[in-house]
Chain A
Amino acid sequence: MLAMNYRGPKRVRIDQKPMPEILHPEDAIVRVLRSCICGSDLHLYNGNVPDTRVGTTFGHEFVGEIVEVGSEVTKVKVGDNVLVPFNISCGKCVFCKQELYGNCHEANPEATAVGAIYGYSHTAGGYHGGQAEYVRVPYANVGPTIIPPGMDLDDAVLLTDVVPTGYQAAEMAGIQKGDTVMIFGAGPIGIMAAKCSWLFGAGRVIVIDKEEYRLEFVRNYAQCEAYNFEEIGDMAVFAKKTTDSLGADVCIDAVGAEAAGNAMQTITGRKLLLQAGSATALHWAINCVKKGGIVSIVGVYGPTDNLVPIGNVLNKGLTIRANQASVKRLLPRLIEHVQNGVLNPKALITHRLPLEEVAEGYRMFSNKLDNCIKPVLIPPSAKI
């Protein structure tokens, strides 16, 4: 089968690989119909995630058709079209029982601080991802969710990560009616977080980024304010002035390790790897939120340390909430929102590429070429 093949930092290609096999009675094999390149894939692509081994296939956002199931699989069957949450979760451990499906204790042997994620290095369990024609899906009784009849595959594939992560960013922010929400990052997650903040009753939504085309998109898509940080001298002063000196009620970091905007963070976090990525967005979030406010983090960072003003977290009495999205928990509500037209995920997709052009897709997304917001890969075997 064809599959993306990681060869080193900023080097990927398409190769023939062996078909995945059932390795566990709860496994299923899925024929991929759509897979996305995610902003967090860029951390892998740039070589910033430890234990990213050459030969791995990335891709944690995919939908497809079940083509084979293990002996203990009862919830899905061959022929079902499913969307597959990016987290791999057993459904039995104490964390899954609390609906912390992103923190399963029975899926990732290599690290305890992160759950298992498809195609996201051996630090996240060592699973191949869905940027391929076929993929092994463990715990098929738990994760895969049958795509409702009539749902567009482009909507479905964004329900595997982008929509739940953006929604959960707003949810964790504990937004109260009338709150001012400040979101750092106008990538797909930041855009979706802006859109979802309204569902929780936000009174004002402000998005910060530096890419004009993304700012323009989010203004229209999420009906919010959007500002270019390259036109802002001091982010905290801007936030204070526009909130009558008090600060935003909640701030959301929807950027993570690849943030721009601060030379010291960029050099130490992205160039020299002296910290686990550039923490500019988180730094701004802490300094822009009000006293007693909430900072919600969905931007992805590496496993070591970051330079953030933790003293201000103490002195301002902040609450920080963060987690990988618990996709399975959120899917029923989010499917409803998509079906009712409250959310329109597929509008984020700007590029549809054949899987064979995966290297160009990564380059385009990474360098923000051709106004790229969300690229989707379509394998030749999708036959659509």
Chain B
Amino acid sequence: MEDKRPLEDTIPFENNRGPADHSHIKGWGIDADPKNDPTYPMKKRTNGEHEGYTWERPTQQPVNMEVLYSIERPNMTAVFGTAAPLRGLSGAIRRMAYKRSENEYSHWLPLILADRVDVVEGVIDDFKHGKIPNIFAEKGYVADWHHNKSGLLARVAILAGITAAVVMLARSNSRD
């Protein structure tokens, strides 16, 4: 009969240190350094921070668009990303969020909210450009079709069942 006990119930307290000879493992111990303490990230500490924000800064990237920056720093970084400019309601929420520091929930939670609003704005934007989002393709269900067909079919069946139930319920309510 199969032992269904949790693994820890099948073993005693014992010192299961590995064998001392690790010669079968290529490279064993080649980076061992007993003096490597404290190791990274403290290892190269210079206390350069004591001098303050005084280093020779890289050339400033021209700021040709609205870029939000943390109120925990005095300026824009020398370079920055321009991936997705602020837009619409999500942009307004993000502007509000960046008035609070990274120390506050009132910074992060509005950003999550803005992200969700941005998704709706993205769909509207798609329609504006004559593009109908292909949710099936965007969710990568083709991968399920190839590698998890039964799971995909079960999901479709459940969805179809729920839809049928809702339709039947709506019809029976309309007859009443």
- Point out residues on A near B: beta carbons under 8 Å: 7-13, 23-27, 47, 50-57, 72, 88, 90, 92-94, 97-100, 105-113, 116, 119, 122-123, 125-128, 138-139, 168, 171-172, 174-178, 180, 196, 198-205, 223, 227, 231-234, 237-238, 240-245, 273, 302-304, 321, 323, 326, 329, 333, 337, 340-343, 357, 359-364, 367, 369-370
A326 and B7 contact, CB distance less than 8 A: no
**Contact of B154 with A by CB under 8 A:** no
From A113, A237, A337, give the contact of B102 (CB < 8 A).
Answer: A113
- Known pairs A90-B58, A92-B58. 9 more at Cβ < 8 A? A24-B79, A54-B122, A110-B70, A126-B81, A203-B18, A234-B6, A237-B8, A245-B13, A359-B138
Contact status B77-A105, CB under 8 Å: yes
Question: At the interface, yes or no: B32 with Cβ under 8 Å from chain A?
Answer: yes
Known: A98-B44, A116-B81. A50 touches B39 (CB 8 A): no
| Docked complex Cα distance between A7 and B137 (Å) | 12
In the complex, the answer to whether A125 meets B80 with C-beta atoms within 8 Å is yes
Q: Which residues of B contact A359 (CB under 8 A)?
A: 137-140, 142-143
B61 contacts chain A at the CB level, 8 A cutoff:
yes
Interface residues of B in 65-96 (CB under 8 A from A): 67-70, 72-73, 76-84, 90, 94
Residue of A nearest to B112 (CB): A50
Cross-chain contact of B147 among A122, A177, A369 (Cβ < 8 A): A369
Say whether A126 contacts B67, CB under 8 Å.
Answer: yes
- Prevailing SS type, chain B contact patch: loop
Say which residue of A53, A99, A245, A367 sits within 8 Å of B118 (CB atoms).
Answer: A53
Is B143's CB under 8 angstroms from A369's CB?
yes
B130 within 8 A of partner (CB): no
In the assembled complex, B175 has its CB within 8 A of some CB on chain A: no
Residues of B within 8 Å of A337, CB to CB, are: 27
Known: A24-B59, A54-B122, A369-B143. A172 touches B83 (CB 8 A): no
- A53 in contact with B40 (CB, 8 Å): no
Q: How far is the CB of A271 from chain B (nearest CB, A)?
A: 14
Task: Give the complex CA separation of A176 and B4 in angstroms.
Answer: 36
Q: How large is the interface on B (under 10, 10 to 19, 20 to 34, 35 or more residues)?
A: 35 or more
A94 to chain B, nearest CB (A): 4
> How far apart sit A128 and B85, CA to CA, in the bound complex (Å)?
12
Q: Does B127 contact A (CB under 8 A)?
A: no
Q: In the complex the two chains form, what is the Cα distance from A112 to B77 in whole Å?
A: 10
Residues of B within 8 A of A27 (CB): 79
Q: Which of A55, A126, A231 contacts B80 (CB 8 A)?
A: A126
Contact B140 A55 (CB under 8 A): no
Q: Contacts A92-B57, A199-B30 given: A10-B69 contact, CB under 8 Å? A: no
Bound together, the chains give a CA A369 to CA B145 distance in angstroms of: 11
Closest B residue to A199 using CB positions = B31
Which residues of chain A have C-beta atoms less than 8 A from B142's C-beta?
357, 359-360, 363
**B108 contacts A362, C-beta separation under 8 Å:** no
| B134→A13 contact, CB < 8 A | yes
Contact B81 A98 (CB under 8 A): no
Supply 24 A–B pairs (Cβ within 8 Å), ascending by A. Answer: A8-B122, A24-B61, A50-B111, A53-B83, A56-B84, A100-B44, A105-B53, A106-B57, A106-B78, A109-B69, A116-B79, A126-B82, A128-B83, A168-B40, A175-B32, A196-B31, A198-B28, A201-B32, A232-B7, A238-B8, A273-B112, A323-B41, A326-B41, A359-B140
Contact partners of B9 in chain A: CB under 8 A:
233
Q: Would B34 and A232 count as touching, CB distance under 8 A?
A: no
Going nearest first, the 7 A-B pairs with the smallest beta carbon separation are: A363-B140, A233-B6, A126-B81, A127-B81, A53-B84, A201-B32, A109-B69
Which of B53, B80, B123 contacts A109 (CB under 8 A)?
B80
A171 touches B40 (CB 8 A): yes
> Given A106-B77, A139-B58, is A204 in contact with B18 using a C-beta cutoff of 8 Å?
yes
Does A98 lie within 8 Å of B76, measured CB to CB?
no
A199 to B68, alpha carbons, bound, how many Å? 43
Closest residue of chain B to A178 (Cβ to Cβ) is B17
Provide the residues of chain A in CB contact with B39, threshold 8 Å: 171-172, 174, 321
